[in-house]
Amino acid sequence: MKQWDQGARLWARVFCAMIVTLFFVFPIYWLGAISFKTAEEIFAYPPVWIPANFNFHNYFVLFRDGEAWSIWNSFVTASISTLFAMFFGTIAAYSLVRYKTGGNHLGIWIISQRMIPPICVVFPVFLLFVAWDIVDTYTGLIVLYTAFNLPYVIWMMRGYIQEIPLELEQSALVDGLTRWAVLWKVVMPMAKSGLFATAVFTFIFAWNDFLFALILSRSDVVTFPVKVTGYFGAQSSLWSKVGALSMLGVLPMIFVVGTMQRFIVRGISMGAVKG
């Protein structure tokens, strides 16, 4: 009786997990399916659940017309801004934690910057960028994403650095390291999981951004979310392109999160929410 009970419960759990997984995976599957469908299949009714054959035509069109370039734009702006945000954010967080820079309140103030709705700042930023002449450039988007992600990086890294035993750093200082060397040889390795997890989220924030990219780019550095949205027209939508370009945008993220999963889970569970 008891055995049976245990088994039933396990099955119930597996069943629930399947439902939830299906719920999240289906949209991605549907996107992928669309990207391989022919025009007829896309509009067929009842819907075609599985495309008849793997048809790379939609992808081919994107590359032929150079529209896949928007993925590259997204990649450049997201990765370079992530590097900058991680670098400056980690240093700033270290300063907040170990030198008590700004007392107890600077950290809170910094994270509060992140809570401003982007729509409030996007037009002032646009005017500023016009004045600096960096609208529609990599520089512009990189500067913006770096600034936008810094509070998040500082806040997260502050939590991870607080977890590092002080004596580890002090021992290194006595052993002959400079502060910079301590940061590099002790703090970085100790905060590795947190560092990766934060970098992944920072990258995703920039990768997903639509609003800033829409306002701050025109034709040269259109990122893929903006590009995809452009395929929706008032009269008709280019569903095959939407499907293919979205897949190109989603796959790198699935890959990144998949390979970094170990770090992300450890990073998130590692006292990140400590105040």
Partner 1 sequence: MPNLKIDNVNKFYGDVHAVKDLSIDVPAGEFVVLVGPSGCGKSTLLRSIAGLEEISDGDIVLGDRSIANLAPRDRNIAMVFQSYALYPYLSVYENIAFGLRARKASDDEIKKQVDWASELLDIGDYLKRFPRELSGGQRQRVAIGRAIVRNADLFLFDEPLSNLDAKLRDGMREEIKRLHTKLGKTFVYVTHDQIEAMTLADRIVLLRDGVIEQIGAPLDLFERPKNIFVAGFLGSPPMNFMDVDVTEHGTSMALPDGQILSLAGTKISGKIKDGAYTWGVRSEHLSKITETKNTVRAVIDVLQPTGSRTYGTFFLGDCHVVSELEAHDVSKEGEILHLAVAIDRTSFFDPETGSAINS
Q: Is the distance from CB of 195 to CB of 160 less than 8 angstroms?
A: yes
For partner 1, which residue of 6, 21, 112, 171 counts as binding (CB under 8 A)?
171
Kindly report the number of other CB atoms within 10 A of residue 237's CB atom. 11
- What is residue 237's three-state secondary structure? strand
Q: Is the distance from CB of 186 to CB of 119 less than 8 angstroms?
A: no
- Taking the alpha carbons at both ends of the chain, their separation in whole angstroms is 48
For partner 1, which residue of 2, 53, 175, 258 counts as binding (CB under 8 A)?
175
Q: Which is nearer to partner 1, 6 or 178 (CB)?
A: 178
Q: Which is nearer to partner 1, 172 or 226 (CB)?
A: 172
Q: Is residue 101 part of the contact set for partner 1 (CB under 8 A)?
A: no
Least gap, CB of 200 to partner 1 (angstroms): 20
Range 191-220, binding partner 1 (CB under 8 A):
192
- Verify cis geometry, omega within 30 degrees of 0, for the bond prior to 165: no
Q: Which is nearer to partner 1, 136 or 163 (CB)?
A: 163
Q: Is residue 6 part of the contact set for partner 1 (CB under 8 A)?
A: no
Separation of alpha carbons 107 and 100, rounded Å: 10
Number of H helices and number of E strands within the chain?
A: 14, 0
Q: Which is nearer to partner 1, 31 or 177 (CB)?
A: 177
Q: Which is nearer to partner 1, 190 or 253 (CB)?
A: 190
Residue count, binding to partner 1 (CB under 8 A): 17
In the DSSP assignment, the letter for residue 86 is: H
Binding interface with partner 1 (CB under 8 A)? 165, 167-168, 170-178, 181, 186, 189-190, 192
